[in-house]
Amino acid sequence: MTIQVNGARLSAVFLALSTAFNNAFKSTETQWPKIATEVPSNSAYQQYTWLANFPGMKEWVGAKQKKKLSEYEYVIRNKPYEATVVVSRDDIEDDQLGIYKPQAEGAAYSAALWPDELVFKAVNEGFNSKCYDGQSFFSTAHPVGKKTVSNKGTKKLSIVSLEAAQNSYGAARTALREMKDEDGRPLNVNPNILLVPPALEDIAKSLMTSEQLRDGENNIYKGTAEVVVAPWLTSSSAWFLLDCTKPLKPFIYQPRKKPVFVSQTDPNADDVFNKAEYAFGAEARGAAGYGHWQLAYGSDGSTD
C-alpha cells in the first residue's frame, strides 16, 4: 500500500521551494551580459553563416553587392542541462523541510550562473575552438580578402614599464583599432573591456587606474577599458581585450530553454512508490559560441 502525502500539503511544500528558487535566481549576479549577446534559439541548433558578412554600408552602384557565404559554415548546437534535488517523503510527513530551502536556493544559484559557465567556457576554448571563418576564434591567420589578420598574442599583461605595457595591452588595443574589412575600410572597433582571471586582477586594475607605471612613466592607458575579473577563466596568464559596444558582442549566449524550476510531485510515480522520494530542480537547454572575431583579442600570456 502506497503512503501518500496530503495533496494540499505537497502543493504547499513545492510552492515554497519554487518561491525560494525564483527569489534566489533573480538575486544572483551574472557576468555574461558584459561580453556576450543573447541570441535566442528555436531549434536544435542555430546557423551563423551570416557572421561572415560584417555589417557595413557601401556605395550603391549598379546591382547591390552580395557577399558569397557558401564557403562559411558555423553552427552552434544546443545541449540539455539540469540540477536535481531529491526530497524524502518522510521529511515531508515529519515536517522536516528546513534543509531543502538552501538546496532550492543553491539550485537557483547554479541555474542563474549557467550562462556564465557556457560563455566563459567559450572564452577559455577560444584559442582552439573554431569560429565562422574556420580558424580558431583567437588566431594569427584569419582570412580577410587576400590577407590574413591576427587577433592573438602571447605577451604577458604588464605594468612594469611603458615598453612592456605597449607590447602587451597596447599591441592588443592597436590590433583591434586597426581592424578593417576586406575592402580596406576601418571597422571602427573600440575596445572597452579588459577581461582577466583573478590572478591578473591587480595588474589589470593598476593599468586602468594608476597615473604612472612601475618605471615612473606616465600611464597612457589609464581609463581606456573597464576591467572585468572572471573566476570562470581557467588560465592564470591569459587575458582578453574586447569591444562590447556593438549590437553583437564578441561572444554569443544561445538559450533554447532558459533555466526553469521543475518538480516531480506525482505520488504514484515510480520513485515515490519505490524510494519514497519526490524531486525538484532546474532544467535548461542552450549553448554558447563566437560572434565577430574582429571584436576580440586574446593573449595566452606565455611570453614576456
Per-domain boundaries in the chain: 7-51+74-303
State whether the Cα torsion 251-254-258-264 is positive or negative.
Answer: negative
C-alpha cell at 223: 581609463
Give the chain's mean pLDDT.
90
**Around Cβ 285, how many Cβ atoms within 10 Å?**
17
Is 267 a residue whose pLDDT tops 80?
no
Greater confidence (73 vs 140) lies with 140
Name residue 147's beta-bridge partners.
144
Is 201 a residue whose pLDDT tops 60?
yes
Fold of 7-51+74-303: phage-related protein like fold (3.90.1690)
73-82, 93-102, 206-215: lowest mean pLDDT where?
Answer: 93-102
At 49-60, the pLDDT tens digits run 888 877 665 656
Tell me the pLDDT band of 289, cut-offs 50, 70 and 90: very high
So what's the pLDDT on residue 56?
67
How far apart CA 284 and CA 261 sit, in angstroms, is 9
So what's the pLDDT on residue 6?
58
Mean of the pLDDT values across residues 25-42? 97
So what's the pLDDT on residue 67?
53
Beta-carbon-side half-sphere exposure of residue 152 (alpha carbons within 13 Å)? 16
Eight-class DSSP state of 156: P
